[in-house]
Amino acid sequence: MFGKRITLFKLFGFAVHIDLSWIIIAVLVTWSLAVGLFPFQYRGLSPGTYWIMGIAGALGLFASIIFHEMSHSLVARRFGIPMKGITLFIFGGVAEMDDEPPSPRAEFMMAIAGPLSSLFLAAAFYGLYLFGAQRGWPAPFNGVVGYLGLINGVLAVFNLIPAFPLDGGRVLRSILWGWRNDLRWGTRISSAIGSGFGIFLIFVGVLNALRGNFIGGVWQFLIGMFLRDAARMSYQQLLARQALEGETVRRFMQTDPVTVSPSVTLARLIEDYVYRHQFKMFPVVEGGELVGCIDLNQVKEIPRDAWPRRTVGEMARGCSGENTISPETDAVKALSKMNRTGRTRLLVVDRGKLVGILSLRDLLRFLSLKIELENGEERPASRPARGAEPGSEREAQKRKAA
Chain segment 211-220, per-residue pLDDT in tens: 887 777 887 8
From the list 152, 169, 62, 154, the residue with the least C-alpha distance to 110 is: 169
Give the pLDDT mean for 145-158.
93
Q: Is the peptide bond before 104 cis (omega within 30 degrees of 0)?
A: no
Three-state secondary-structure class, residue 196: helix
Global pTM value: 0.70
Higher pLDDT, 280 or 376: 280
- The Cα–Cα gap between 243 and 239 comes to 6
Least confident range of 39-53, 185-199, 223-237, 331-345: 331-345
pLDDT band at 390 (very low <50, low <70, confident <90, very high): very low
For the cut 50, the answer to whether the pLDDT of residue 11 exceeds it is yes
User: In angstroms, what CA-CA distances link 379 with 89, 280, 291, 373?
Assistant: 28, 28, 38, 10
- Assigned fold of 249-374: CBS-domain (3.10.580)
Q: Of residues 71 and 1, which shows the higher confidence score?
A: 71
Beta carbons of 120 and 71 less than 8 angstroms apart: no
> What angle in degrees, to the nearest 10, is found between the helix axes of 47-78 and 104-135?
150
Residue 401 pLDDT > 50: no
Q: Which residue, 303, 304, 340, is CA-closest to 322?
A: 340
How far, in whole angstroms, is CA 69 from its chain's centroid? 14
Confidence of residue 102 (pLDDT cuts 50, 70, 90): confident
Q: How far is Cα 317 from Cα 236, in angstroms, rounded to an integer?
A: 35
How far apart, in whole angstroms, are the C-alpha atoms of residue 391 and residue 277? 7
- So what's the pLDDT on residue 136? 84
The answer on pLDDT for 364 being more than 90 is: no
Q: What is the pLDDT of residue 387?
A: 40
CA dist list (Å): 192 to 101, 230, 303 = 20, 11, 52
Catalytic site includes residue 245? no
Name the strand (E) or helix (H) holding 227: helix 214-244
Looking at the chain, the domain(s) classified CATH 3.10.580.10 span 249-374
Q: What is the pLDDT of residue 109?
A: 92
Pairing of β 345-350 and β 289-295: unpaired
One-letter identity of residue 183: L
**pLDDT-derived band at 374, boundaries 50, 70, 90:** low
Mean pLDDT, rounded, for 22-35: 85
